[in-house]
Structure 1
Amino acid sequence: MDLWELDLNSRVHKSADGRARLRAYVEFAFTSELDPSDLALLSDARLRQRLNELWIDRLAPWFGESITTDPVELASIRAARLLADGAWFDRALGTVDFTESDRAAILAVALNLTERTAQT
């Protein structure tokens, strides 16, 4: 988790808002080096509660939870987070093998979901 936070912090300025932090998490999930050891927090049922608390405490600022906006835009922000979570999980498991161009295209879709929408 320390390494994840270092990587995430290297992607944004210290004063970054929730949207910039979410974008950093999305990029991290799609581009950083991952392996099954990144899934350690899921491996021991006896530690699940404590590891879950640590996970939420340290990584929640990167998940877009602080972003307040209209319901449609909020749904897009949450969808971007879920895409990133899925990419992180599948890449750590080694269950996906996208070409670089496919991964870049999916990343672009996820990042697009984090953009502000015009209010009408």
Structure 2
Amino acid sequence: MAPARSTPPSRPAHRPSAREAMLDAAEAHLGADGTLTLDSAARAAGVTKPGLMYHFSTKEQLLGAILDRMAARYERELLAQVAARHPGAADDLADAPADLAEAPADQRHLAYLDWACTAALSAADLVIFADPHLRVTLTERWQEQVETWLNVPAGVAADRRARLLAVRLMADGLWFDRAAGLLDEVGEEAERLRSLATALLEEATAGGEAR
């Protein structure tokens, strides 16, 4: 009788799920405390500092990973907002944009405003400001991402471009104030804000401005 094959050893602890658990803990700590170091991130995750540094050898890598994961979550939520408002989406989800960049500029900007009113936000969402020494690097990284979501196509008239910027700034202010704890839940004001933003964009359309 052939000898039974031995059971292969289990995978080491540094599997992707361990990395995600560390990011979960780091983001939660950042949201509660507003600051993050490699030491505090390791304590929050219940691992040693060398264990954390196996995945994130520097603070920049750790904050960058939090930022990237946050951006991916934002994009999913923004796309869901576009799909919810997209004409016919309730009847045929195939008609809704499959990618955020495919949606018209006005839909993307209004979705951002909707999202800023309702998203679950905390101080962790201000990760780009978590370390003054990394602020420029993280802000540039964040700006590149935001521009893919809120890009206004070339050829859009100056007046409409300004109106889209006004809607974006409304959403930016809501996002920052809610994440910083300066503003409570928007509640029923959300629809009023959206109506105001929609009217601002419709004025340009009525005046003959292109979308």
TM-score range, shorter chain: 0.7 to 0.9
Tell me which residue corresponds to 1:30. Answer: 117
- Residue 66 of structure 1 aligns with which residue? 153
Task: Between the two structures, name the one with larger relative contact order (CA 8 Å, sep ≥ 6).
Answer: 1
Matched, 1:112 2:182: no
1:45 corresponds to which of 132, 135, 151 = 132
Residue aligning to 1:6: 76
1:45 is displaced (CA, Å) by: 1.4
Give the CA deviation at 1:26: 1.6
Post-superposition offset of 1:80? 0.3
Q: TM-score of the superposition, structure 1-length normalised?
A: 0.82
Q: Distance in 1 between matches of 2:77 and 2:172?
A: 16
Tell me, yes or no, if the aligned pair for 1:29 and 1:88 is still in contact at 8 Å: yes
Q: Distance in 1 between matches of 2:154 and 2:110?
A: 12
Q: Is the 8 A contact 2:116 2:171 kept in 1?
A: yes
Larger radius of gyration: 2
State the 1:63 CA deviation: 2.3
Distance in 2 of aligned mates of 1:6 and 1:99: 21
What are the ranges of 5 or more consecutive residues in structure 1 without an aligned counterpart? Answer: none
Structure 2: segments with no counterpart, 5+ residues: 1-70, 83-96
Q: TM-score normalised to the size of structure 2?
A: 0.50
Number of residue pairs matched?
Answer: 120
Q: CA RMSD in A?
A: 2.2
Q: Is the 8 A contact 1:19 1:114 kept in 2?
A: yes
Structure 1 residue 67, shift from structure 2 partner: 6.0
**1-side partners of 2:80 and 2:104: how far apart?**
14
